[in-house]
A and B are shown apart, each in its own frame.
Chain A
């Protein structure tokens, strides 16, 4: 009874810059086939009621602040689950002129779920893992943020230079 946090994690879902692949897979978790509500997981639209922030997509200049705001509005204890490869490195968008990188450069991430997109099973697994962290956070055990999966794609020197140039152009 007293580990109620882990019995009713309410999830708010934030789409940063995703191609919607992860989002559709995440919504599939709610369907009768996967039915996350049997774990007490509710998909709610408001960070103020949430315990778990599920992020999809990479962070760009525009949405970094929004992500930060949504994160701030979640009451403690809270955990962040990052779905898909974009959230860790930028994925296919990495190196794009407007992309800052993974979610972890803006907010601390507790669980990364790899895949492009991850399977719903993997997502549920990730959330259940996050819920364990949530419970430990409630007890006051500070939990280290998740180790970031290795990023295989690295923009070449030229690409980086190009991106910087575009950015500068825009600011001028």
Chain B
């Protein structure tokens, strides 16, 4: 497979690897800015995430032990691998597994230290995974049912926008994105706002550059998620971009109007409404 990659693909891979964190940073910068405006504040500059990460790398690398840091590296590298695999148009399920592995590494990093807060954050992160993972797999299944292929590149072969055939899955996916981006009401494991209550949850014991690594991985993840949202209208990138904007604003409104709810609620909610919506959509595609 590797030898089949031509020079253009190598360039695409390289560009997406470099561009993804910048896109992610811009998205989260915009996120902070718009959130501030929604709350009647001025808010930080849009490039604030860059400052944050550069600052983190100039800090003292304190840690609890060495193993913890290995997991941070694995988290980042596998998040980058997801980008590479997407750029290569590889098997979607395998991409999903690489993504899950990346998240599990974060969880394991949080659990490898003897810290109660980190542990609680990790447990909640696994609950989050449990909540959204089925929906992501069902989306891939829906893609297969239409294209007879698991390859990410096959999405481009569909003549109609994916949103036409899987609107319910799109709604469910937005919930999954809200979980992944740690937005209220799903921001149970770590949150941008809940510094005091969660003590930053899962990343509590990471500091300095190691936290920076995790933040970069989060930027990659943000870019990946928004790329997937855009792919729901893969026939026209401008409309896809519009879709992305709508989704972005919707998630921000959700974030700013809801309070944080419990993990139990999250699991019950995700395994009831979005899961059933997804299954309904799958059955609809299947019977066609």
A and B touch in the complex (CB under 8 A): yes
Chain A contact residues, CB within 8 Å of chain B: 1-2, 4-5, 7-8, 32, 35, 37-40, 42-46, 48-49, 51, 73, 75-77, 138
B48 contacts which chain A residues (CB < 8 A)? 7-8, 40
A75 to B203, CA, bound (A): 15
* Contact call B55/A46, Cβ cutoff below 8 A: no
A1 to B106, CA, bound (A): 29
* Contact call A51/B40, Cβ cutoff below 8 A: no
Report if B114 contacts A (CB, 8 A). Answer: no
Residue of A nearest to B211 (CB): A49
Query: Min CB distance, A72 to chain B, in Å?
Result: 9
* Contact call A48/B62, Cβ cutoff below 8 A: yes
Report if B89 contacts A (CB, 8 A). Answer: no
B54 contacts which chain A residues (CB < 8 A)? 1-2, 4
Residue of B nearest to A30 (CB): B41
- Given A37, A40, A75, which contacts B60 in the complex, CB threshold below 8 Å? A75
Chain B contact residues, CB within 8 Å of chain A: 32, 36, 39-45, 48, 50-52, 54-55, 58-62, 195-200, 203-208, 211
> Could you say which of A32, A42, A49 has the most chain B C-beta atoms within 10 Å of its C-beta?
A49
> Could you say which of B45, B55, B211 has the most chain A C-beta atoms within 10 Å of its C-beta?
B55
* Contact call B200/A76, Cβ cutoff below 8 A: no
* Contact call A38/B43, Cβ cutoff below 8 A: yes
A68 to B42, CA, bound (A): 35
Query: Min CB distance, B66 to chain A, in Å?
Result: 16
A44 to B59, CA, bound (A): 16
B32 contacts which chain A residues (CB < 8 A)? 37
* Contact call B195/A42, Cβ cutoff below 8 A: yes
A7 contacts which chain B residues (CB < 8 A)? 48, 51, 55
Given contacts A48-B206, A76-B60, 8 further A-B contacts (CB under 8 A): A4-B58, A7-B55, A46-B200, A48-B204, A49-B200, A75-B59, A75-B60, A75-B207
* Contact call A49/B43, Cβ cutoff below 8 A: no
* Contact call A37/B44, Cβ cutoff below 8 A: yes
- Contacts A/B (CB < 8 Å), 29 sampled: A1-B54, A4-B51, A4-B58, A7-B55, A8-B48, A8-B51, A32-B41, A35-B42, A35-B43, A38-B36, A38-B43, A38-B44, A39-B44, A40-B45, A40-B48, A40-B52, A43-B195, A44-B200, A45-B196, A45-B198, A46-B199, A46-B204, A49-B200, A49-B207, A75-B59, A75-B61, A75-B208, A76-B60, A77-B58
